[in-house]
Each structure stands twice: as structure tokens, then as C-alpha cells.
Amino acid sequence: MKIKLGGYGILKNYVGPPENAREIELPQAKSLKDILQEMGIPDGMVMLISVNDEQKNLDYVPQEGDEIKLVPPVSGG
Amino acid sequence: MLFSTDYLEQFSRHVRLPNFGIEGQKKIAAARIFIAGAGGLGSAALTYLAPIGLKKIGLIDSDTVEISNLPRQIIHDQTKIGQLKVTSAGERIKQLNPTLELALHSERLKAVNILEIIKEYDVVLDGTDNFASKYLLNDACVISGIPLVHAGVLRFSGQVMTIQPGRSACYRCVFREPPSPGAVPTCSEAGILNTAAGIVGLIQATEAIKLITGLGDLLTNQLLVFDALSMKFRNVEIKPDPDCPVCGQNPTIKTVEDLKMVEGQN
């Protein structure tokens, strides 16, 4: 199963920007929380998860062809 | 409300806008906007909101002007280093609009003062530089029913969302709890491009004008993510969370509380 994972802001460093998202091969179904953990992305660095332009949470189990975008929280002013 | 010829000349470029007109200017003339933070976001928003003929602007910031602030905090200048930011910004605002009613608060936003301070305003802009203040503003505005234009910036990017309490998703619908201290870098650690802060602050000011005049579509139920390097603006759809602890069906947060966390630096 293949999914595409892209990120905004500092998350681009982990998965590439949304327009050049990283393609990931998943041998078995698993939650986004597990996928992000394996990639070394801390939970706290992901504010918003958008799957095919719909808001999801870390418990979501990606499906074939999903395009996933990760948005980090930013506190600067 | 009757406007003099001079008044109409001053604001004629807004009055001539389609669907803005004298009615729009009347709404502006009666509106009170509160801005939390006189930093990069607040400087841009204040510079563009002070001259448009508002009734009142409120501003809170407990910091003093530092030399590293000046590239992006354009409401301050070299002569203001060491001054309270609200004093420095207040002087500039008065130059831009001497008749504007101004309330300056040189203190930190806290649970003990926030509801009392924001209650008389029509719109609140979040220009703060730390998660504790952003959550406090969200909770206070939802509880008080005051529209909030949230924003944050870091490095080359920024985010904006407009919250209409009871009608659209709030900050906690998107991100229920603040990240653990240190999980996300601050601008003083990771840097901030001055123009990125300015662009995001002006988007906030634009949302405030739209909220007051009723023009256009707001950034409600969506997070606008701006990236200066790719120069892309992307709208990520969000939705109200029925289980949100502050705006959900059974809220557990019914009054404001200070978050115990390490404060970020601007």
C-alpha cells in the first residue's frame, strides 16, 4: 500500500513539502501515530492532519493512495 | 452618524469600494479591535488598522523594545529601544490617527485579567508569541463570544484562522492541548523572516476588517498556511469538534485558566 506524506513549515524537513510529498510504502495497515513515530516525528510537532483534504487524527489508519498533509503548530508572533 | 466632507475624503478609497460604501465606514467607525502583542504580527496589523477610522484599539504587551525586534516589529524604531512596546506603539498609533481611542495595557495576558480586558471589543487579534497566550486567548474569546483571528509564524511560514465562537472551529478543535515545552522551536531559536510576519499580520488585519464590515468570506473552518519560500497559500479545511473541551457539546473548560508551561520568546 502506498501513501503520500507531505508537511508544512518545519515538517517539510521530515516528509517534504506537499507539492513534493514523500511516497511511503506500507507493508501493513497501521495508524498515523505509529507511522509518524517510526519516522521520528514527535506527536507534539503535528497540529493538524489533512487526509485527501479532510481533517483526521493520529488514530487514522491510512488507505491506499491517501494524500496526507501534516501541519505543525507555530507560536511565533 | 453623519460624516463631514473631510472625513469622507480621508476614507474615500474604502468608501468607494463595492459593497463597502458609507455603510461599511459607519461600521468601522463604531468598531473596537483588541490586539494581543505589539510584535511582528501586531506591528503590521496595527499599522494598517490604526489609520482606517476605527472607534478604538486596545493593545497589550508587557515587553520592552529590543534591537532584535526592529526588522519585523515595524511599529517601533531605533529611538524606542528600552521603552515599553505599548508606549512605543501608542505614540506611533497616535501619529497615524490622533482621534483614535486607545487603551494600552503594559502587562501580561493572564486568566485573571483577560475576560475583563477583552469584553468591550468586537474583534480580537492574536499577535502573541507563545502557546500559553494563544490557548488563553482562544478560550477567553470562545467563552466571551468574541471573534478571534488567530495566527502564528515561524521561519518562512505562518498560519491564520478566524474563529467565530459558536459558528466555527476554534483553536482547540484543531489542536486540543499545547505541545510539550521544547517540542516546537520559537522564533528566537529558529528565526523568522520579517516579511512573513508582516504578510500574516496583514491577513489578520484584513480578516478583522471583513468581520466588522461583513464583506467576503472569512477564514473560518479552515487554516490558511502561508509559505514564503514556495510563495504558496494553502487553505486546509478544519471542522468544529463536537468533543472540543471549550466549544464542544459538553465543554469542560468553562472559565479561563493559565497554562503551566515554558513561555516561548518572540
Q: What is the pLDDT of residues B36-59, one digit of tens each?
A: 999 999 999 999 999 999 999 999
Query: Could you tell me the strand order of the sheet in which B32-36 lies?
Result: B101-105, B56-60, B32-36, B123-126, B148-154, B157-163, B222-227, B232-237
Chain A CB within 8 Å of residue B198 CB:
no
The CATH code of the domain at A2-71 is 3.10.20.30
Question: Which of A44, A72, A75 is nearest residue B129 as measured by Cβ atoms?
Answer: A75
Average pLDDT over residues B21-30: 98
Q: How far apart are CA B143 and CA B80, in angstroms?
A: 36
Q: For chain A, what's the residue count?
A: 77
Q: How far is A21 from chain B (nearest CA, A)?
A: 14
- Selected residues 28-67 of chain A with any CB under 8 Å from a CB in chain B: 42, 44-45, 47-48, 50, 53-55
Best CA proximity match to B140, nearest among B45, B226, B266, B255: B255
Q: How far apart are CA A53 and CA B115, in angstroms?
A: 35
Q: Where are the domains of chain A?
A: 2-71
| pLDDT score at B168 | 98
Question: Which of B152, B179, B239 is nearest residue A76 as measured by Cβ atoms?
Answer: B152
Chain A CB within 8 Å of residue B180 CB:
yes
Average pLDDT over residues B117-136: 97
| pLDDT score at A42 | 84
Exposed, middle or buried, B40 (CB in 10 Å: 0-12/13-18/19+)? Answer: buried
Chain B contact set for A9 (CB, 8 A): 154-155, 157, 225, 227
Q: For chain B, what's the residue count?
A: 266
Average pLDDT over residues A12-27: 91
Q: How far apart are CA B225 and CA B153, in angstroms?
A: 10
Exposed, middle or buried, B10 (CB in 10 Å: 0-12/13-18/19+)? Answer: middle
Torsions phi, psi for B202 (to 5 deg): -75, -30
pLDDT above 90 as % of chain B: 89
Choose the mutation target among A52, A68, A75 for the interface with B, i.e. most B CBs under 10 Å. Answer: A75
Average pLDDT over residues A7-28: 91
- pTM for the whole structure: 0.94
In this structure, are residues B193 and B199 in contact, taking their beta carbons and an 8 Å threshold? no
| pLDDT score at B263 | 46
Q: Which residues pair with A22 in a beta bridge?
A: A5
Q: Is pLDDT above 50 for B264?
A: no
Q: How far is B2 from chain A (nearest CA, A)?
A: 38
Contact A77 B127 (CB under 8 A): yes
Residue B121 has a CB neighbour count (10 Å cut-off) of: 21
Between A46-50, B101-105, B178-182, B204-208, the lowest mean confidence (pLDDT) is in B178-182
Question: Which of B152, B192, B236 is nearest residue A48 as measured by Cβ atoms?
Answer: B236
Average pLDDT over residues B74-97: 98
pLDDT above 70 as % of chain B: 98
Question: Which of B129, B154, B179 is nearest residue A9 as measured by Cβ atoms?
Answer: B154
Is position B247 annotated as part of the catalytic site?
no
Average pLDDT over residues B230-248: 95
Q: How many CA atoms lie within 13 A of B236 on its CB side?
A: 28
| pLDDT score at B184 | 81
Contact B266 A10 (CB under 8 A): no
pLDDT grade, residue B261 (50/70/90)?
A: low
